[in-house]
Chain A
Amino acid sequence: MKLISYILLLAFGILLIFATSELPSRGHPENPINRDTSIAGTPGAAAHYIRNAEKETATPNMVTAILADYRGYDTLGETTVIFCAGIVVFLILRKQKDGSKI
């Protein structure tokens, strides 16, 4: 049983190495993620952010501009998620009123 699990783990690793062979090399400016225009012909997201973030939001730090402005909904959901985590931890560990165990 344990041997099968190790073999599966190893096979997964080999599969991942095979998958990375198709990925672009690290750090080249012409990688697909850094392109000016995407394959579909629309403007690339990263280049657009780098060009227009300071102009549109008066914020030199692009990460902050994307986090709070371009992706404001994302961050709102994020804050709600950590708020929910706090509530859930409180609800799991609170003292039951009738003394019953959880």
Chain B
Amino acid sequence: MTDYFIGHAAYYFIITLLLIGLWGMLFKKNYLKKLIGMNILQSSIILFYVVSASKYNATVPVLDPKLGEINPSQYINPLPHTLMLTAIVVSVATTGVALALLIVIYKRFNTLDENEILEKMK
């Protein structure tokens, strides 16, 4: 049972982070805070992939000649790291586009509050 919780503690931390992000996106009325919530959610997904790549008693995925014969159990899984490297850059791009849209919304409505904008759109 203890082994189970030690092995799964990282997942619970990620679920907490995901729920915090989702809570920000659902309950906050300010669009900028919603965007911050989305970024927290993206970070939780990235952490989930990185956790899946971890291996005990293994080193970073850069080949070390001192370790001798290549054994896959000596290096952590490089594939999730590669995928998340690209995901981080995409998250930067989406954040930039979202901020541009927020600037346009603020210019037109003079507010970023969801309720006020819905009121003004009628």
Contact = CB atoms under 8 A, between A and B. Distances in A.
B12 A17 contact: yes
Nearest to B56: A27
Interface string A1-26: 01001000100110011001101111
Interface in B10-35: 10-12, 15, 18-19, 22-23, 26-27
B61 A17 contact: no
Interface residues of A, number: 49
A29 B56 CA distance: 7
Given A33-B52, A71-B82, A88 B75 contact: no
Given A27-B55, A33-B53, A88-B100, A101 B82 contact: no
- Per DSSP, chain A at the interface is helix
15 contacts: A25-B3, A29-B56, A31-B52, A33-B52, A33-B77, A34-B55, A46-B77, A60-B64, A61-B63, A62-B62, A78-B90, A81-B90, A82-B89, A82-B93, A92-B97
A8 B102 CA distance: 28
